[in-house]
Structure 1
Amino acid sequence: MRRLAALAAAVVLGATGLVVATAPAPAEAHGAEVFPGSRQYFCWLDGTSAGGDIVPNNPACADAVAASGKSPLYNWFGNLDSNGAGRTVGYVPDGRICDGGGNGPYDFEPYNAPRTDWPTTHLTAGETYEFQHNNWAQHPGRFDVYVTTEGFDPTAELGWDDLELIDSVVNPPDTGGPGDLNYYYWDVTLPADRTGRHIVFTHWVRSDSNENFYSCSDVVFDGGNGEVTGLGGDGPDPSPTPTADPVCPDEAPGTPDPAMASAVKATSAHVMWAPSRSGCVTGYDVLDAADGEVLASTDGSPMVDLTGLQPETEYAVTVRARNDNTGEVSAETAVLTFTTLADDVDPGPTPTPTPTAEPAGACEVDYRASHWGGGNAGYTASVTVTNTSDAPVTSWVLQFEYPGGQRVDVPGWSAALTQSGTTVTATHPGWSSTIAAGQSATFGFNGATTGSGHPEPTSFTLNGATCA
């Protein structure tokens, strides 16, 4: 029986800033396992705050950040080796499998730590699940999936003798284009003899270069169906035994973090949200923001595919958590809006419309960037634009001026970018064309500098209106 109870939760890029720490220029491609969630992905999800900073709640994630800083989590999709070339035993040493031997641009070494309090996905041995691997950049290649052998000691370092290759797939399908939270997906049947705590190791071997990516995902075979524990400070997971009795029957469910939409097509959309961080939650509902109709429900998984949608239609939805033991529901999240495509053919980058002369309303911009000098001078920027007016801004376009000779490298992520002279234009992505009143949109990109610094841009305008 195919199970789709997967966690690909994400902090909403439209509502939180992505603060990029000083780091080397990112490599050409990126990606990490998001179901079952990898250590770097879950720690990013666990720690990202409303202001964009990373402050982990999970103790294993907190210790990893204390050891190697926040840059690896700002670049959670960059656990890589540019010269990996598919090599395993004899190249990647025991104890360093989770970070591929530490040959990448970011320090993921602490994410090898053998401990039992990493965020954990609960699974059932012998079942088939849809595995999901983020495609921050798309490339052809092979995914090899390993699971630790029965009797594995999670408090000992991970070695190649502990791993069994259980699945390999070449060029699986994906939910959408790169630079976002889309993902490759394929079915994996897990071994039937596993019990207790284990590690799933996923090795992405590109076929168009020697670049490889590495993901260690902590799982426990306890009859679960994709539920996740260890996020939001709920502490170590001692490999619990499932029980029919509710463990928190009287606790009101906490409100989940706001949702985001990805893989938006003509008649469907993938909606994801970060799990509730308090109370007893047995499931979630996605509601029509206009009339409160329940569009979809889940049994604990903070993601769902909305189907049967109308092409070229704007939708507004909210999410609430449920405690089915008491019948209580949480407050609803902020409204998420997205617009379906005309058809299911990928239209490519959205053309840059001409900004209207009529001001779109009040707006504020938060621009943050890291800069590194020397012979390979460059920067990584994150821009959050907030609609502070009382009306939605549709088909949004943000423009700004670079005063220091900076050059934008395209494509970026979560917006289509162009540059003409000193003027940079960022156009909304196809899946998020509207910024609701009081809401935000965030996008990012890399670029090159003259090496003498990175002066902040000036003259931000949103659809022609000047922003603070």
Structure 2
Amino acid sequence: MTRRLRLRGSHGLVLLALLAALPAFCLVLITGGPAAAHGAPMAPGSRTFLCYKDGLTSTGEIKPKNAACAAAAAQSGTTPFYNWFSVLRSDGAGRTRGFVPDGQLCSGGNTTFSGFDLARNDWPLTHLTSGASFDFSYNAWAAHPGWFYQYVTKDGFDPTKSLTWADVEDTPFLSVDHPPVTGTVGTLDGAYKWTGNLPSGKSGRHIIYTVWQRSDSAETFYSCSDVVFDGGSGEVTGVGDGTGSTDPPPSGSACTATYRTVSTWPGGYQSEVAVANTGTVPMLGWMVHWSLASGQSIASLWNGRLTAVGTAMMAENADWNGSLAVGASTAFGFVVNGTGSPPDATTAFTCMPT
């Protein structure tokens, strides 16, 4: 049975509001709060989120206790645990079958997270009741408008075998159209939340596969939530002592964006922004926010991907320059057309790790 929830609102107005609000809270996050990025299912929890909770220590180190989480760390390292919210493909455009390869569904074909594709029956597990109403929660580490599609594996699914598209039902059991964000974006409290019925007629072990397709870019997120339909109501086992970590998220992720004007001419100018990892853990990606003067527009931007709504600008890393080791830096440039002066010291270029 397929169920669809539709929530009203203008996509363009939502994006404009988000971009307008981002610089205000991003600065707070960079200077003293947790790292900021995108998101992942929290209820039922994805492999990346629950393994992050399982492995996080009070010092900010990742030391998994769950055997499957430890195996993922052994294969891919611990950086993906700090970036549990970044299982994405920048070129996804909502594509699933025929795009994400068999055996790579849980990583979305993103090799950084390949450890989470391991076929095992000891991943952290959420206990559910088939057909019951459930309060879903998807973290909004950085908010983006879009659609959520939730699939479930077919009857007879075997978690010890590599997950393929043939194991997944053809249509989602639940679809959600641009849900609002509740709580504080950039924290574990900030989330997209919706209520819907779990798939009916299911028993035993399964995977709930969630696809988040942004409507303001081609970026698409993929995640696996390991569940068992045994009459439960959302209890989680296999994470530490079974209750999950209460430690705060690590505060080691931080980046800066430093602007300079390269050249000017009547009616335009060329600029460069240096992005540096100033934190204590590696970054998988970054995004920079700033505003242009009235009457200006960006004619071209290189070494990054641009999202623009009015004078609100957001540049995200290209595929090849997002990963930055501690202390490393990169740069992107752009050309602006229009009247008015280039940015000065009062213009905020705000960097967010992803």
What pairs with 1:307-456 in structure 2 (closer than 5 Å)? 368=252, 378-381=276-279, 451=329
Q: 1:40–1:73: 8 Å Cα contact kept in structure 2?
A: yes
CA gap 1:48/1:19 in 2 versus in 1, 3 angstroms: farther
RMSD over aligned CA atoms reads 3.6
3-state SS of 2:194 partner: strand
Once the two structures are superposed, residues 282-317 of structure 1 have per-residue CA deviations (whole angstroms, 9 ceiling, x without a partner) of xxxxxxxxxxxxxxxxxxxxxxxxxxxxxxxxxxxx
* Aligned with residue 179 of structure 1, among 175, 178, 186: 186
* CA drift at 1:369: 6.1
State the 1:382 CA deviation.
6.5
Q: What whole-Å deviation, never above 9, does each CA across 1:419-468 have from its counterpart, x for those lacking one?
A: xxxxxxxxxxxxxxxxxxxxxxxxxxx9x98959xxxxxxxxxxxxxxxx
Counterpart of 1:209?
A: 217
Instruction: Give 1:188 shift.
Output: 2.4
Q: 1:90 to 1:378 in 2, by over 3 A?
A: same
| Distance in 1 (alpha carbons) for counterparts of 2:247 and 2:113 | 28
Give the corresponding residue for 2:65. Answer: 57
1:66 maps to which of 74, 97, 103: 74
1:87 alignment partner in structure 2:
95
Contact 1:19 1:52 in 2 (8 A): no
Which residue, 132, 136, 142 being the options, matches 2:137?
132
1:35 aligns with 2:40: no
> How far apart, CA to CA, are the structure 2 residues paired with 1:213 and 1:183?
15
Pair 1:222-2:120 in alignment: no
Output the amino acid matched with 1:120. Answer: L
Cα distance per residue 1:135-179 (max 9 Å; x no partner): 111111100000001111111111112112211111112213421
How far the C-alpha of 1:99 sits from its partner, in A, is 0.9
Determine the structure 2 residue equivalent to 1:280: none
Do the aligned residues in 2 keep the contact of 1:134 with 1:184 (CA within 8 Å)?
yes
What is the alpha-carbon distance in structure 2 between the residues aligned to residue 43 and residue 257 of structure 1?
A: 10
Tell me the percent identity. Answer: 48
> Are 1:156 and 2:173 an aligned pair?
no
Amino acid at match of 1:55: K
TM-score with structure 2 setting the length: 0.61
SS for the counterpart of 2:182 is: coil
For residues 258 and 86 of structure 1, the distance between their equivalents in structure 2, rounded to whole angstroms, comes to 34
Structure 2: stretches of 5+ with no match in the other structure? 1-31, 257-272, 282-286, 291-323, 331-354
Task: Figure out how many residues of one structure are paired with residues of the other and give that number.
Answer: 242
AA matched with 1:50: S
CA deviation string 1:289-346 (max 9, x = no partner): xxxxxxxxxxxxxxxxxxxxxxxxxxxxxxxxxxxxxxxxxxxxxxxxxxxxxxxxxx
Q: What letter corresponds to residue 170 of structure 1 in structure 2?
A: D
Q: CA deviation at 1:131?
A: 0.9
Which protein has the larger Cα radius of gyration, Structure 1 or Structure 2?
Answer: 1
| Contact persistence 2:54–2:245 (CA under 8 A) | no
Instruction: For residue 181 of structure 2, give the secondary structure of its aligned residue in structure 1.
Output: coil
CA distance in 2, matches of 1:19, 1:54: 15
1:170 corresponds, among 160, 177, 193, to 177
Change (3 A) 1:69 1:191: same
TM-score scaled by length of structure 1:
0.47
1: CA distance, partners of 2:328 / 2:75: 32
The correspondence of residues 246-261 of structure 1 with structure 2, limited to 5 A, is none
Partner deviation per Cα, 1:187-239 (whole Å, 9 max, x = no partner):
221222111000000000001100011110000000111111001166xxxxx
Point out which structure has higher relative CO (alpha carbons under 8 A, 6+ apart): 2
Classify the secondary structure of the residue corresponding to 1:62. helix
Alpha-carbon displacement from aligned partner over 1:109-148 (angstroms, at most 9, x marks no partner): 1101111100000000110101111111111110000000
> Does the C-alpha gap of structure 1 residues 191 and 379 become closer, same or farther in structure 2, counting only changes over 3 Å?
same
Give yes or no for the alignment of 1:98 onto 2:106: yes
- Residue number among 108, 116, 122 corresponding to 1:111 in the alignment: 116
